[in-house]
Chain A
Amino acid sequence: MKRAIDHINIEEHPKKTRRQILFADMISGLVLLLFLYTSISKLTDNELFKNVLTASPLLKPYAGIISWLIPSIEIAIAILLFIPRFRIKGLIASVILITLFTIYLLYMVAFTPNLPCSCGGVIKLLTWPQHIAFNVFFVFLSLTGIILYRRPKSLESSSPP
């Protein structure tokens, strides 16, 4: 019998487990909100996003591709987070992507702190350290979501067939 969070019907679970799944769903919603908001912001003002990317010596040669690739990946992750059966995959992808963003931010802080942020929407108003803290918070949030989704699975597998 296939046991996966994808097919969990929360009504079949004890109250505590149900709360965990609902909490994980809320986390998925928050991460979805973040990705959807920033991706739409980047797409609606793609020329500005590309301009800012070209100001970065690291990204300048690839600015044209990156200006479309990043929002596309973010929308793909948002779709994964929207569909319950793909939410773990969406959260794992978000951890990877936000970690990559954070590595880039650390590079920017270290080498070119005066450059503008190529982030979407109001997030670009954050300072570099604030942005790094923001990213770390969302990485931990996503990891918490992954753990919460996996826990009901382990509870299921420990129950008698």
Chain B
Amino acid sequence: MLRYLSGIAATIIAISLVAFTSPDKKPLSTFTFHYTPATYTQPLVQTNSNWVSGSQLCGGTANKACQMEVTDTYTHLDANNNRVLNTTGNVIVIKAKTGANGTDYVPDPSTSTGISSPVDKP
């Protein structure tokens, strides 16, 4: 029985340490999502699956609001371990308005939890 003493003590200490040192649950980090289609229409911009983490393409178009920073609350890993936007629960709502020429778009930050600013990003 004496020889179990170290094991029992270690078990108690380990459980106590976990209990007292577990950090508060904070968002892990933010992830950058880019809009990937080459065309910028309101329906396409508002489709969450067109925003991809890790992509740098922005559909090959410069000077568009094609980038957004998203905390991990709004994302999850899919079956292939790719970071994707949530489709249920905490969902980013991307809202866009049709631009002046009818084919373009501008982000609508007043109703969007996605693109926070209409300012173009590279």
A joins B in a complex: yes
Residues of A within 8 A of B (CB): 10, 21, 25-26, 28-30, 32-33, 36-37, 40-41, 44-45, 48, 50-52, 54, 60-61, 63-64, 81-84, 121-122
Report B13 CB to chain A, min CB distance, Å: 6
Measured between alpha carbons, how far is A4 from B83 in the docked complex, in Å? 52
Contact of B3 among A41, A52, A54, A84 (CB under 8 A): A84
B4, A33: Cβ atoms under 8 Å? no
Enumerate chain A residues within 8 angstroms of B83, measured Cβ to Cβ: 54
A84, B10: Cβ atoms under 8 Å? no
From residue 23 to 61 of chain B, which have CB atoms closer than 8 A to chain A? Answer: 25, 28
B6 contacts the other chain (CB 8 A): yes
Contact of A25 among B3, B17, B25 (CB under 8 A): B3
A45, B81: Cβ atoms under 8 Å? no
B21 contacts the other chain (CB 8 A): yes
Smallest Cβ-Cβ distance to A90: which chain B residue = B7
